[in-house]
């Protein structure tokens, strides 16, 4: 039997209505987000927006205020999601290697061709652009201005170390740091950061660099194995931690002086004789009560309140420890929630870029272990609380 025009119109309206409803549901918490796990993310300085790149190459912009998200691309480089400091502009690269800086409203601010990046940062004035390739070579600039900053070997690398060479730039564009995997104890004077004649890099560990000259200032040694580090927004502090449970801090005005941070069972006292009982090597005077759950093996560190407080995230743990810069002792432990499981589970050192903060607004965003959702937290510096304010599964 033939379908009348009126019935066709009603049928079409029903279909369009269903499509619209599906669109609403897909962009709501009811069905969750359809994407692979987060691989890299950034939080805007205001704390309202989050950008994330996912394992299935999706690029998603999240609006914390409106509790909405929008898929911007299905062809994003996994390790390219980054928010530009001091403005609502984010950086990303597509699978054709085009790097784009655009506003949250879609306005194009900058675009250029580049090699496939395994992490990049840019200053608020767009004058300093730093990026790393899969071999942990670091470059400054792009196009005709591109030049190597660190290129002294092919080991360690992303493949060999199982993590990125993480980059962090302070808000004043004074210093930047690199950190990856290293047990080397040599000094800057011993090795050039540009040496194509050697296979094993001497700059795989935590290194402080001058952002203007792009020259190394100090090799900040002490960590071993997979290491993550960051620099405070004001450029005065570098903090690090590694998968062996070691954590250190340096003031950039005196980078040769290293401060060891406490583990969760005490502060290791360096320089003691080797024949003492094991308990004698640890100072426990500044410890607070330890809940069941935090792990000393660290996957990432991130500043959460300006340059005053930072978080240390344990591997295979849903706890974070709060530290105050200048003090080696943990201030508080935060339970981030057992469900959904966070990116910190499963020894995901290659995904520690799925943890991001805005120190200015106190926002922490984290990807989940096996789904494309995120968990978002708000830090209160007066009450020293970290409240989960949004979860998308």
CA 304 from centroid of its chain's CA atoms: 12
In sequence order, what are the beta bridge partners of 375? 366, 391
pLDDT at 4 over 80: no
What's the pLDDT at 3? 42
Report residue 7's pLDDT band, with 50, 70 and 90 as the boundaries: very low
Task: Please choose, from the candidates 89, 157, 83, the residue with its C-alpha nearest in 3D space to the C-alpha of residue 120.
Answer: 83
Looking at residue 251, the DSSP 8-state letter turns out to be: E
CB 325 within 8 A of CB 312: no
Report the percentage of the chain scoring pLDDT > 70.
92
- The predicted model scores a pTM of 0.91
Summarised one tens digit per residue, pLDDT across range 352-371 is: 999 999 999 999 999 999 99
For the chain, the domains span 114-392
CA dist list (Å): 141 to 76, 145, 149: 21, 5, 10
Fold of the CATH domain 114-392: Methylamine Dehydrogenase; Chain H (2.130.10)
Q: Which DSSP string corresponds to 318-362? A: SEEEEEETT--SEEEEEE--SSSPBTTTT--GGGGGGEEEETTTT
Q: What's the rounded mean pLDDT across residues 148-170?
A: 95
pLDDT at 16 over 90: no
């Amino acid at each position: 039997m033939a379908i009348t025009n009126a019935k066709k119109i009603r049928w079409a309206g029903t279909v369009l209505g269903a499509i619209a409803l599906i669109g609403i549901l897909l962009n709501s918490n009811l069905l969750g987000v359809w994407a692979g796990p987060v691989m890299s993310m950034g939080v805007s300085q205001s704390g309202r927006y989050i950008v994330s790149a996912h394992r299935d190459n999706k690029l998603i912009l999240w609006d914390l205020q409106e509790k909405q998200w929008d898929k911007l691309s299905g062809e994003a480089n996994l390790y390219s999601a980054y928010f530009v400091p001091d403005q609502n502009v984010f950086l990303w690269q597509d699978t054709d290697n085009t790097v784009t800086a655009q506003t949250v409203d879609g306005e194009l601010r900058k675009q250029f061709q580049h090699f496939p990046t395994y992490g990049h940062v840019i200053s608020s004035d767009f004058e300093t652009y730093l990026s790393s390739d899969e071999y942990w070579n670091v470059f400054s600039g792009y196009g005709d201005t591109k030049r190597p900053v660190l290129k002294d070997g092919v080991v360690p690398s992303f493949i060999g170390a199982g993590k990125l060479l993480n980059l962090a730039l302070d808000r004043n564009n004074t210093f930047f740091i690199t950190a990856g995997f290293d047990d080397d104890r040599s000094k800057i004077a011993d090795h050039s950061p540009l040496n194509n004649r050697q296979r094993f890099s001497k700059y795989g560990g935590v290194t402080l660099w001058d952002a203007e000259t792009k020259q190394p200032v100090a090799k900040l040694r002490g960590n071993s194995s997979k290491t993550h580090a960051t620099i405070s927004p004001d450029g005065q502090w570098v903090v690090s931690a590694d998968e062996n449970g070691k954590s250190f801090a340096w003031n950039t005005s005196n980078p040769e002086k290293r401060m060891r941070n406490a583990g969760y069972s005490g502060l290791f006292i360096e320089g003691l004789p080797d024949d003492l009982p094991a308990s004698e090597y640890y100072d426990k005077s500044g410890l607070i009560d330890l809940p069941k759950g935090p792990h000393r093996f660290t996957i990432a560190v991130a500043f959460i309140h300006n340059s005053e407080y930072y978080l240390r995230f344990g591997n295979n743990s849903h706890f974070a420890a709060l530290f105050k810069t200048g003090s080696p002792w943990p201030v508080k432990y935060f339970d981030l929630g057992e469900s959904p499981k966070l990116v910190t589970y499963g020894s995901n050192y290659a995904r520690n870029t799925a943890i991001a903060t805005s120190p200015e607004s106190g926002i922490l965003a984290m990807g989940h272990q096996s789904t494309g959702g995120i968990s978002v937290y708000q830090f209160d510096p007066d009450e020293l609380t970290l409240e989960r304010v949004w979860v998308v599964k």
